């Protein structure tokens, strides 16, 4: 299907890119992402370009010689999206990490795709601005966030990464350089190639530069830790915020066990475990922002009344920088905490209508028991995006994969029955193609495959991902 790398091709790539690695010099991390259960494969060559022109020159050589190309950012994906399944050439974009310029009159920032989310977020704050997308992995590349349309914790109020992409520079699989979008807030100018590229997971083109929308930083922010006796009571509270004309920046849910794991990992207790002799079973973590302290105080009071009437056991206010940092550090460490305590791990991030979450999670937990798996769940209650982890410390890997496949077959089917979708923000990669096909049907899969072939007639770019079935 593809040609093998030979010395002539390697030499050509070395002439157009200063940093090229082969053989034992290739970083072993390039063989996997953060979920290695979806496979590992070393590339034949790893290139680390520093400009769009270098990326284009590498890709053009690969296109002419029918060599597969896998683009990669920080490698923080969870569905095998950055694994070079066919070997070939891997292009590491992490050195393309410049924040190029701000245009504060038009509320945009121009960056290279390898800029880390954490670096962009912090740099924006120094300008009095906020980059609203807030995925849990702060040290992912923004280009990767765009490639998967990562959502994150603030999506309930501010939307997903897609809503903040104004324009991009893209290297097509042929090696051509093109630009999609513009520094404008609306368009009715033909098919939206910009939006087609967002969420395409590096299968249609390689994003090298981005123009991202930013907004003025809210002046006042507070978080509320709200404990409940059980998860159902916590989750059935969530729709009431919108119905009460409240607009939290984030609404996260978490069960007791995942909080205990996270606190062990970070080495600090943040969340209460019991109140008045009664055990706490679940929590909501809410964040509100406002322009004045008075406005924020009114929000806190209204939210407190709402959750207590809905069955909350208490309302704890994190209103200092230290308290805010501790609360969100514990939340942001959930995945790392699970990985620390688990030998075999898989995950899914289904997205559902918010009023279906409670019933669905009961189904998930029951199915996990039937399949003999330990299930740990948390996620974005405000937008219905659930992170469900399957864990085992005693099963053989083959048996674990078999049980997980059975588990997935059942819970994905139930998610679709509830009006949901396979993934809210992690993407499809190679690990979820089967479940995507089962959920959307052959007509839609064929449409996506057709789009892939238009952009990538030789199918060399990130093969075996999203809709390209092997």
Write down the pLDDT at residue 470: 73
C-alpha span between 149 and 165 (Å, rounded): 10
Establish if 369 belongs to a structural domain.
yes
For position 136, what pLDDT does the model report? Answer: 86
Question: From CA 131, how far away is CA 109, in angstroms rounded?
Answer: 9
- pLDDT value for 469: 85
Q: How many domains does the chain have?
A: 4
Residue 304 shares a structural domain with residue 325: yes
Question: Is 310 in the same domain as 385?
Answer: no
Does residue 452 belong to any structural domain of this protein? no
pLDDT digits (tens, 9 = 90+) for 419-437: 999 999 999 999 999 999 9
Rounded to 5 degrees, φ, ψ at 342 are -130, 135
- For the chain, how big is the Rg over CA atoms in Å? 23
Q: Please report whether residue 449 resides in a domain.
A: no
Q: In the chain, what is the straight-line distance between the N-terminal and C-terminal CA atoms, in Å?
A: 11
Residues spanned by the domain of 296: 220-338
22, exposed or middle or buried, with CB in 10 Å at 0-12, 13-18, 19+?
A: middle
Same domain, 211 and 229: no
**CATH number of the domain enclosing 178:** 3.30.465.10
* 3-state SS assignment for residue 96: coil
456 within a domain of the structure (yes/no): no
Asked whether residue 434 is assigned to any structural domain, the reply reads no
Judge whether 281 and 256 are in contact, CB under 8 Å. Answer: yes
CATH for 48: 3.30.43.10
- The region that residue 80 occupies, defined by phi over 0 for left and psi between -120 and 50 for alpha, beta otherwise, is left
Let me know whether 81 and 118 are in one domain. Answer: no
Looking up residue 382, the CATH number of its domain turns out to be 3.30.70.2740
Q: With respect to residue 393, please indicate whether it lies within any of the assigned structural domains.
A: yes
Q: Does residue 433 sit within a domain?
A: no
Q: Is residue 162 part of a domain?
A: yes
* pTM, rounded to two decimals: 0.95
Q: What is the pLDDT of residue 212?
A: 98
- The per-residue pLDDT for range 432-470, each reduced to its tens digit, is 999 999 999 999 999 999 999 999 999 999 999 999 987
Domain's final residue, options 196, 216, 236: 216
Q: Is the distance from CB of 379 to CB of 253 less than 8 angstroms? A: yes
Q: Do 332 and 226 share a structural domain?
A: yes
Q: How far is CA 126 from CA 21, 44, 291, in A?
A: 37, 42, 18
Contact 166, 198 (CB under 8 A): no
By C-alpha distance, which of 247, 220, 241 is closest to 159? 247
The closest of 438, 443, 385, 431 to 410, measured between CA atoms, is: 438
In this structure, are residues 270 and 222 in contact, taking their beta carbons and an 8 Å threshold? no
Candidates 236, 211, 233; CA nearest to 109 is 211
Residues 212 and 224 in one domain: no
| Same domain as 82, residue 161 | no
Q: Give the burial class of 4: count Cβ atoms within 10 A of its Cβ; 0-12 exposed, 13-18 middle, 19 or more buried.
A: exposed
What whole-number distance in Å separates Cα of residue 266 and Cα of residue 330? 7
Q: Is the dihedral of CA 440, 442, 447, 450 positive or negative?
A: positive
- The verdict on 180 and 247 lying in the same domain is no
Residue 88 shares a structural domain with residue 29 = yes
Closest CA relative to residue 153, chosen from 284, 266, 315? 284
Q: Does residue 340 sit in helix, strand or coil?
A: helix
pLDDT value, residue 308: 97
Residue at a domain's end among 396, 418, 440: 418
In three-state secondary structure terms, 275 is strand
Please check whether residue 138 is in contact with residue 144, taking contact to mean a CB–CB distance below 8 angstroms.
Answer: no
Per-residue pLDDT at 60? 98
Listed residues 375, 393, 418: the one ending a domain: 418
Token digits of residue 19: 């940093």
| Phi, psi (rounded to 5 degrees) for 445 | -65, -40
- Which of the residues in the chain have pLDDT under 50? none
Is 120 found in the same domain as 90?
A: no
CB contact at 8 A, 389 and 347: yes
Structure token pair of residue 39: 């496979």
- Asked if 224 and 259 sit in the same domain, the reply is yes
CA distance 361 to 386: 9
Q: What is the CATH number of the domain that holds 321?
A: 3.30.70.2190
Q: For the packed helices 397-417 and 433-455, what is the interaxial angle rounded to 10 degrees? A: 80
Are 390 and 332 members of one domain?
no
164-198 burial, b at 16+ Cβ within 10 Å, e below that, comes to bbbbbbbbbbbbebeebbeeeeeeeeeeebbeebb
Using CA atoms, how far apart are residues 302 and 14, in angstroms rounded to an integer? Answer: 62
């Amino acid at each position: 299907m593809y040609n093998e790398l030979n010395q002539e091709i390697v030499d050509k790539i070395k002439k157009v890119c200063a940093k090229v690695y082969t053989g034992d010099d290739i970083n072993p991390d390039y063989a996997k992402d953060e979920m290695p259960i979806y496979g590992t494969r070393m590339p034949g060559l790893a290139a680390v370009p520093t400009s769009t022109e270098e990326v284009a020159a590498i890709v053009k050589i690969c296109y002419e010689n029918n060599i597969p190309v896998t683009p990669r950012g920080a490698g923080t994906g969870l569905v095998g999206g950055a694994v070079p399944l066919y070997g070939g050439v891997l292009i590491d974009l992490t050195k393309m990490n410049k924040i190029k310029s701000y245009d504060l009159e038009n509320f945009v920032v121009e960056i290279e795709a390898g800029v880390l989310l954490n670096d962009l977020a912090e740099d924006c704050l120094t300008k009095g601005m906020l980059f609203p997308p807030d995925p849990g992995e702060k040290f992912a590349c923004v280009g990767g966030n765009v490639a998967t349309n990562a959502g994150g914790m603030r999506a309930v109020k501010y939307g997903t990464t897609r809503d903040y992409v104004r324009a991009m520079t893209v290297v097509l699989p042929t090696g051509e350089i093109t630009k999609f979008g513009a520094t404008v807030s609306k368009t009715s100018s033909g098919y939206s190639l910009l939006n087609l590229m967002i969420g395409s997971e590096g299968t249609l083109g390689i994003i090298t530069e981005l123009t991202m929308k930013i907004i003025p930083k809210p002046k006042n922010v507070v978080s509320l830790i709200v404990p409940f006796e059980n998860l159902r009571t916590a989750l059935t509270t969530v729709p009431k915020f919108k119905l009460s004309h409240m607009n939290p920046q984030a609404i996260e849910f978490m069960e007791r066990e995942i909080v205990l794991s996270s606190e062990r990992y970070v080495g600090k207790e943040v969340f209460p475990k019991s109140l008045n002799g009664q055990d706490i079973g679940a929590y909501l973590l809410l964040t509100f922002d406002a322009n004045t302290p008075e406005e924020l105080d009114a929000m806190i009071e209204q939210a407190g009344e709402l959750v207590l009437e809905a069955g909350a056991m208490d309302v704890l206010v994190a209103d200092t920088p230290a308290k805010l940092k501790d609360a969100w550090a514990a939340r942001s460490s959930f995945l790392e905490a699970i990985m620390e305590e688990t030998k075999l791990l898989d995950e899914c991030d289904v997205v559902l209508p918010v009023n279906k979450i409670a019933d669905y999670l009961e189904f998930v937990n029951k199915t996990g028991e039937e399949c003999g798996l330990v299930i740990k769940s948390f996620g974005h209650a405000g937008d219905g995006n659930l992170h469900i982890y399957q864990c085992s410390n005693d099963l053989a890997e083959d048996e674990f994969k078999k049980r997980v496949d059975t588990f997935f077959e059942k819970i994905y089917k139930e998610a679709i029955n509830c009006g949901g979708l396979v993934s809210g923000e992690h993407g499809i990669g190679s690990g979820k193609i089967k479940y995507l096909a089962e959920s959307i049907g052959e007509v839609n899969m064929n449409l996506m495959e057709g789009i892939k072939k238009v952009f990538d007639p030789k199918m060399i770019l990130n093969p075996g991902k999203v809709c390209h079935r092997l």
